Amino acid sequence: MRGSPIKVLLQTTIPTTADDWCIARFSLLGQFLREQRRHGAPLFEVTMRDRESLGAPDSVLSTLDQSEFDEMWLFAADVGNGLTAADCEGIARFRRQGRGLLITRDHMDLGSSICDLAGIGEAHHFHSRNLDIDAARRAPDDTITTSISWPNFHSGANGDYQEIRAVAPLHPVLANPDAAGGAIRFLPSHPHEGDVSAPKNQRARVVAEGTSKATGRPFNIAVAFEPDSNAGPAIAQSSFHHFADYNWDVSRGSPSFVTEPPGVRMSQEPNALRHTHRYVLNLAHWLAGSAP
């Protein structure tokens, strides 16, 4: 059994900006991980930070392989300029050492700098970079916010939850022994999620799917990259809104550019947040090579 806390870095690809998806808007995620205990001892040591500036290598990301972190969760909220070549090289070395990555973004081209990440970047499809080979997915799905084009899978309002499907065989990050069927069933919803798929040249597969409430089309929520001798475990997630404060509790507020009316179903269905918490816990352990 691991004797020391798992060291987790929660990191964005933008400088600290109050009216944006900066790391302060993921405080409930950080709080949840910090509260986890086993025999009274903390399970996780959490560091939360935004990048220092744009255009120059970030002092942490560019040297991530020299850090003591066991895993990094990267919330890509940039417009294509959130990672430098040196940052990508530091992150790649980090994963080659066997350490874990969760890389997530959002709609259209938001967070598209992650296309420059070796391996896992291939799992993320954007409007103008690394387009999905399936032409049917290169079309608007969310028809409410017309200013945002594809990919924009509509899984529901911010503040509501969506019912997801664990793809067989059940992956450890989707396991929930306390739930009917033994799998995670609920995650926060979002009006316009991004597009992920499993690269065919890697040990990766889709492990969770959602369904558009606008069109009924299925879409991928998470792709898992199994660890091997060349790389650590990784997850490509369709939207960072699955982890944002606003999507767990709308009373926490959102940046001013969010105009869609929020929902309230997350606060009305306790199981939705329980399943989300279980998913977070599973991810944090699996990325560190341990069991919940």
Query: Which residue intervals of 53-158 are DSSP H helices?
Result: 85-96
**Mean pLDDT of the 92-102 span:** 98
Average pLDDT over residues 167-188: 97
Residue 247 CA to residue 193 CA, distance in Å, equals 13
**Quick one: what percent of the chain has pLDDT higher than 70?**
99
Reply yes or no on whether the pLDDT at 292 is more than 90. no
**Residue from 115, 71, 104, 124 nearest 243 by CA:** 104
Structure tokens at 232: 């650590």
How many C-beta atoms surround the C-beta of residue 147 within 10 A? 7
Tokens at residue 31, please?
Answer: 């709080």
Confidence of residue 290 (pLDDT cuts 50, 70, 90): confident
Determine the angle formed by the axes of helices 27-35 and 270-287, rounding to 10 degrees.
Answer: 70
Listed in sequence order, the residues at least 6 apart from 198 whose beta carbon sits closer than 8 Å to its beta carbon are 123, 204, 205, 206, 223
* Phi and psi angles of residue 81, each rounded to the nearest 5 degrees, phi first: -120, 25
Q: What is the band of 282 on the pLDDT scale with cuts at 50, 70, 90?
A: very high
227-257 pLDDT, tens digit each: 999 999 999 999 999 999 999 999 999 999 9
Give bridge partners of residue 204 from the DSSP assignment: 225
pLDDT computed for residue 275 by the predictor? 98
pLDDT of residue 26: 98
Q: What pLDDT does 291 receive? A: 72
Could you tell me where the beta strands, DSSP code E, fall in 20-64? 37-38, 41-42, 44-49
The pLDDT of residue 3 is: 78
- Which residues, at least 6 apart from 188, have a Cβ–Cβ distance to it below 8 Å? 158, 159, 160, 161, 162, 241, 242, 244, 247, 248, 266, 272, 276
DSSP notation for 175-195: B-TTSGGGB--EEE--SSB-E
- Residue 176 CA to residue 178 CA, distance in Å, equals 5
The pLDDT of residue 104: 98
pLDDT digits (tens, 9 = 90+) for 215-235: 999 999 999 999 999 999 999
Alpha-carbon gap, residue 110 to 80, rounded angstroms: 7
Give the largest Cα separation in the chain, rounded. 51
Task: Give residue 125's Cα distance to chain centre.
Answer: 14
Q: How confident is the model at residue 172, as a pLDDT?
A: 98
pLDDT-based confidence at residue 112 (cuts at 50, 70, 90): very high
Q: How many angstroms separate the CA atoms of 251 and 63, rounded? A: 37
Please check the confidence at residue 1 and state whether its pLDDT lies above 60.
Answer: no
Q: Domains in the chain, please, with CATH?
A: 6-287 (3.40.50.880)
- pLDDT tens digits along 35-81: 999 999 999 999 999 999 999 999 999 999 999 999 999 999 999 99
